[in-house]
């Protein structure tokens, strides 16, 4: 599989290629507009391709781009799978596959992690009874450092400021407080919003139908920017039962996954897609994993997110500074390096193969 050809240069290209590949395979294809426009005036939408599968009781969900700019890798994996299926007979996999493309199309198109309302969609999917309010105590203390109300400056001694904050509060506490989500600073990083987003509404309305009458679901939700460079971890942020834990080890390898709470790579968050999926699907055996692929160091990623957010809120869209911040953000979440792209794409495709083999194998084992 040629990584170079599967990574798209922008959202519009990614979307067009995803749709063409799905249509050529005779997948069911849906499009859900979020009523926003991209940089070229194009409509922004979540596209859904479904390969029905001969064993509808088992479903693989492959989702990309809930964090906008992180969508380049997930979209490339989805395109790679569709093209792989097109090149063989029988073309479609035996289990039902639901491909959710660009869950945050605005962020993907405008090169942001956040959506049109500055919302981190992976903090917006609150459960019933949870309220869109509150922030970690430490976030309040760090608001001035994280979210300066001015355009980014190249001359700011940011690394030093980050190091001082790390020395003062410790890395684990910072990770948890900064990236775990906040609901009080609408222009700040990792803002969870004040209401369900358009994406949340679309998911709430259609998710059950996409899963059809499945009983067992494996969900791979593709992310980038966390962990060691080009390495992958499947991050789980909800309680697993023993059978699920065993299944993850069997399908993907014993060291492939990490339960958040052990704090090696991930951190607990509110409003996450994983918890939302598993709580809503209590009647199913639903196994969700955020497939995280590392790119750059956490401080570099945070600095890039901060600069882009400053440019978005306080800069002008046509400014060179804004463009620089956007380009830097894309590099931080989808490095140009051919070695990185080849490695993560191969690993991403392998995860999909392992999931399909696992689902299909269990199906035949139990029937």
Does residue 223 belong to the site contacting Zn ion (CB under 5 A)?
yes
Distance (Å, whole) CA 276 – CA 279: 5
CB of 216 to Zn ion, least distance (A): 25
Does residue 96 belong to the site contacting Zn ion (CB under 5 A)?
no
Stretch that binds Zn ion, among 3-11, 57-65, 165-173, 215-223 (CB under 5 A): 215-223
Does residue 112 belong to the site contacting Zn ion (CB under 5 A)?
no
CB of 206 to Zn ion, least distance (A): 22
CB of 20 to Zn ion, least distance (A): 26
Stretch that binds Zn ion, among 204-212, 221-229, 245-253, 350-358 (CB under 5 A): 221-229
Number of CB atoms found within 10 A of residue 365's CB: 7
Total binding residues for Zn ion by CB under 5 A? 3
27 vs 277, beta carbon nearer Zn ion: 277
Distance (Å, whole) CA 74 – CA 344: 10
CB of 207 to Zn ion, least distance (A): 19
CB of 329 to Zn ion, least distance (A): 13
Stretch that binds Zn ion, among 35-43, 65-73, 166-174, 187-195 (CB under 5 A): 65-73
CB of 187 to Zn ion, least distance (A): 20
Does residue 67 belong to the site contacting Zn ion (CB under 5 A)?
yes
Q: Are 60 and 120 in contact (CB under 8 A)?
A: no
183 vs 333, beta carbon nearer Zn ion: 333
User: Which tokens hold the place of 40?
Assistant: 């070229």
Number of CB atoms found within 10 A of residue 28's CB: 12
Which residue's Cβ has the minimum distance to Zn ion? 223
Cα atoms in the Cβ-side hemisphere of radius 13 Å centred on 89: 0
92 vs 301, beta carbon nearer Zn ion: 301
Considering only residues 313-342, where is the footprint of Zn ion by CB under 5 A?
Answer: none
70 vs 285, beta carbon nearer Zn ion: 70
CB of 56 to Zn ion, least distance (A): 29
* Site of interaction with Zn ion (CB under 5 A): 67, 70, 223
């Amino acid at each position: 599989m040629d990584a170079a050809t599967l990574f798209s240069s922008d959202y519009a290209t990614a979307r067009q290629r995803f749709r063409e590949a799905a249509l050529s395979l005779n997948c069911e294809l849906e499009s859900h507009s979020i009523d926003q426009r991209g940089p070229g005036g194009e409509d922004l939408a979540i596209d859904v391709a479904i390969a029905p599968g001969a064993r509808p009781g088992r479903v693989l969900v492959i989702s990309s781009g809930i964090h906008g700019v992180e969508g380049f890798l997930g979209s490339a994996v989805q395109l790679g799978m569709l093209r792989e299926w097109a090149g063989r007979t029988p073309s479609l996999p035996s289990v039902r596959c639901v491909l959710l493309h660009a869950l945050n199309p605005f962020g993907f198109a405008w090169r942001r992690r956040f959506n049109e309302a500055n919302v981190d969609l992976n903090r917006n999917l609150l459960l019933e009874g949870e309220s869109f309010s509150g922030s970690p105590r430490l976030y309040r203390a760090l608001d001035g450092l994280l979210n300066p109300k001015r355009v980014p400056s190249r001359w700011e001694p940011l690394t030093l400021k980050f190091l001082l904050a790390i020395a003062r509060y410790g890395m684990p506490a910072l990770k948890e407080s900064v990236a775990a989500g906040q609901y009080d600073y609408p222009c700040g990083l990792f803002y969870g919003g004040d209401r369900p987003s358009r994406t949340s509404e679309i998911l709430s309305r259609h998710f059950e139908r996409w899963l059809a009458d499945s009983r067992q679901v494996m969900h791979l939700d593709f992310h980038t920017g966390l962990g060691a460079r080009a390495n992958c971890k499947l991050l789980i942020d909800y309680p697993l039962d023993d059978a699920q834990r065993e299944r993850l080890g069997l399908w993907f390898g014993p060291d492939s996954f990490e339960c958040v709470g052990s704090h090696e790579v991930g951190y607990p968050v509110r409003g996450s897609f994983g918890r939302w999926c598993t709580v809503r699907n209590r009647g199913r055996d639903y196994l969700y994993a955020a497939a995280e692929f590392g790119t750059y160091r956490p401080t570099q990623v945070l600095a890039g997110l901060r600069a882009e957010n400053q440019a978005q809120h306080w800069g002008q869209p046509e400014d060179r500074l804004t463009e620089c911040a956007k380009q830097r953000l894309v590099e931080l979440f989808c490095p140009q390096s051919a070695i990185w792209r080849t490695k993560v794409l191969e690993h991403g495709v392998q995860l999909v193969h392992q999931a399909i083999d696992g689902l299909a194998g269990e199906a035949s084992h139990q029937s």
